[in-house]
Amino acid sequence: MPSSSRSTTSLSAYQHTLAILTLPKTSTDKIANESILTTSMSQTVNTGKLSIVLRCPDGYSPSISDLRGYVGEIYSLAWDIVLNLKKMDNGDLLDVIVYPHNLPNTAPETWITHRPDLDCICSHDSVIGWSSLGMGSGHNFDHVKGQGVGGLKDYVHAVNNDRDVRGLKKIAAIQPNDWPGEIWTDDSIVFLEDYDGDNNSKAVVNSGEEDEGFLTGGYHVPSSSLYNHVAVGGTFDGMHYGHRKLLTLAVSSVVPNTGLLTIGITKDEMLQQKEFSALIPSLEVRIKGVKDFVGSLAPGMKNRIKIVPIEDKYGPPGAPSNSDVYKEKNDYDALVLSHETLETGRMLNKHRVEALGMSPLTLLCTRRTEAYGMSSTTLRRMKNTTMTIQECTIK
C-alpha cells in the first residue's frame, strides 16, 4: 500500500524505541498497529530494546480480557516480524516489552518517556491524538492537512521539553512506513472478521428484497453478507494454512444453493520472478491441491465452483464478458482477498469502473495474521534449506 509518510532515518538506527499502538476495535486498527510495529522493529538494532504501549482510544472501555488477549496477539505479531527481519543475534531476541494502558500493575507510559536510554517514538497522528489538554487518540486526527492537529510531532516535542528539564537527551519522531490510510475512506472494503451483516453500512444486499437470511446449522446468516458470484485468486503454492483460510472465507461468502465461486490460480509463466520460483509446483499440481481442499470443505458446491488459470493482473473480474481469454460472463459482485493484496483489489475496482464501465466489487478483506511465517515463500525457503542440507550430507 502507498505510504502516507516515510521516515528518512536509516534502518536499525536506534537502541531503544517506543512504539505507541492503539487497542484495536477493528481489523483496520490491527493493520495500522502492524505498520507501526514493523517500522519500529526495523529501525531498532538487533540487540536493542522495544517498548510497546497500547493506548485505549477515546470513549473505549475495554475489559481486562480484551487487554490480556491483545497482549498475546502483539507478542505473536512481534515474533512473526522478527523472523522476517531476521532480528536475532546468536539466537538472542530483540528485547520487547508490551505495556497496555489500564492493565493492573504495569508501568505507565510516562515511566518509559523518562528513560535515559530512549531514542525515539514511532506512532501515527491518528493514534497519538495528543493535545495540550491531555492524551487520547481518535480518527478525528487522521486525514487532516498538515498530518493532523496535535499528532506525533507535537507529542514528541512536548516529551522533549519534559526530558530537557530532566537533563535527558532529545528523542526522534518516526512515522510508520506503508500506513494504510486508504482503508478508512474506501466504501467498497468490508473486513470479514468485523462484519456480521446486520450493522455495517457497507453491506450490499444482493437481491434488493427484504433480508430474511439463511439458517445454517441453526445459525442465522444475513443475506447482506452473502454474494451471488464471488471471486478469489492466488498462486496457491503448497496450500498452506493461509490459503485454506482464504478459500474457507470465500466459500462462506457465497449464497447457498444458487451462488457461484470462481477460484483463479496464477499460471506458471507469471511466477518466474518469485523467490525460489524453481520450487513452485506446476499449475496442474496447484489446481489439484485447490480442488482436493474445496472438495472436502464444501462438497455440496461441486457444481458451483469453477477454477480458472489467471493469465493477467486482474483475472476474470477485470475482463469484459465473454472475452477471448476467459470466455465467461463478468457478473461478479465480490472479491475475497487478504489485506496485503488490498491495493490490487482497489486498482481492479478502478479498472472495472473506468475501463469496463462496470460497478466496483465489494472487497471482502481478511487481515492476514502471521503474514511472514505463514506464506508460500517461507515454505519454499524451508524446502530449499532442506535440499541444501541433503546435498551437503551426500557430499
Higher pLDDT, 378 or 56: 56
pLDDT exceeds 80 at position 336 = yes
pLDDT exceeds 70 at position 62 = yes
- CATH hierarchy code of domain 14-179: 3.40.50
Q: How do residues 139-151 score in pLDDT, each as one tens digit?
A: 444 444 444 457 8
Q: How do residues 193-204 score in pLDDT, each as one tens digit?
A: 886 654 443 433
CA-CA distance, 1 to 252, in Å (whole number)? 27
Q: How do residues 25-55 score in pLDDT, each as one tens digit?
A: 888 888 899 999 999 999 999 889 999 999 8
Select 186-380's CATH number: 1.10.600.10, 3.40.50.10140, 4.10.320.10, 3.40.50.620: 3.40.50.620
Average pLDDT for 193-221:
50
Report pLDDT for 363: 94
Q: Where does the pLDDT of residue 295 fall: very low under 50, low under 70, confident under 90, or very high at 90 and above?
A: very high
pLDDT exceeds 90 at position 91 = no
pLDDT exceeds 60 at position 271 = yes
Judge contact between 308 and 263, C-beta under 8 A: yes
Report pLDDT for 145: 43
| Within this chain, domains 14-179 and 186-380 share the same CATH topology | yes
Report pLDDT for 87: 67
Average pLDDT for 212-234:
73
- DSSP designation for 272: T
pTM exceeds 0.85 = no
Would you state the torsion angle of the CA atoms of residues 143, 147, 148, 149, taken in this order, to the nearest 10 degrees? -160
Read off the amino acid at residue 254.
V
Q: Where does the pLDDT of residue 352 fall: very low under 50, low under 70, confident under 90, or very high at 90 and above?
A: very high
Judge contact between 43 and 177, C-beta under 8 A: no
Q: Which of 65-69, 127-131, 187-191, 293-297 has the highest mean pLDDT?
A: 293-297
pLDDT exceeds 60 at position 232 = yes
Cell numbers describing residue 306: 469453477
Read off the amino acid at residue 231.
A
Task: Provide the percentage of residues in the chain whose pLDDT is more than 90.
Answer: 39
Q: Are strands 214-216 and 219-221 parallel, antiparallel or unpaired?
A: antiparallel
Average pLDDT for 242-259:
91
CA-CA distance, 360 to 207, in Å (whole number)? 17
Report pLDDT for 321: 93
CA-CA distance, 361 to 206, in Å (whole number)? 12
Task: Show the beta-strand stretches assigned E in the chain.
Answer: 14-22, 44-55, 88-89, 92-93, 95-100, 120-122, 172-174, 189-191, 214-216, 219-221, 229-234, 260-266, 305-310, 334-338, 362-366
Averaged pLDDT of the chain: 79
- DSSP designation for 347: H
Average pLDDT for 133-138:
40
pLDDT exceeds 90 at position 174 = yes
Report pLDDT for 104: 80
Q: Where does the pLDDT of residue 18 fall: very low under 50, low under 70, confident under 90, or very high at 90 and above?
A: very high
Report pLDDT for 359: 96
Q: How do residues 69-80 score in pLDDT, each as one tens digit?
A: 888 889 988 988
Alpha helices in the chain (DSSP H): 27-42, 64-85, 109-113, 125-128, 152-165, 241-251, 283-297, 342-351, 376-394
Q: How do residues 363-390 score in pLDDT, each as one tens digit?
A: 999 877 655 544 555 554 545 554 444 4
pLDDT exceeds 50 at position 2 = no
Instruction: Say if residue 326 is exposed, middle or buried (CB neighbours under 10 Å; 0-12, 13-18, 19+).
Output: buried
Q: Which of 107-111, 148-152, 235-239, 356-360 has the highest mean pLDDT?
A: 356-360
Higher pLDDT, 218 or 102: 102
Q: What are the boundaries of each domain within the chain? A: 14-179, 186-380
3-state class (DSSP) for residue 171? coil
Average pLDDT for 117-130:
87
Instruction: Determine the straight-line distance between the first and last CA of the chain, rounded to whole angstroms.
Output: 45
CA-CA distance, 364 to 391, in Å (whole number)? 44
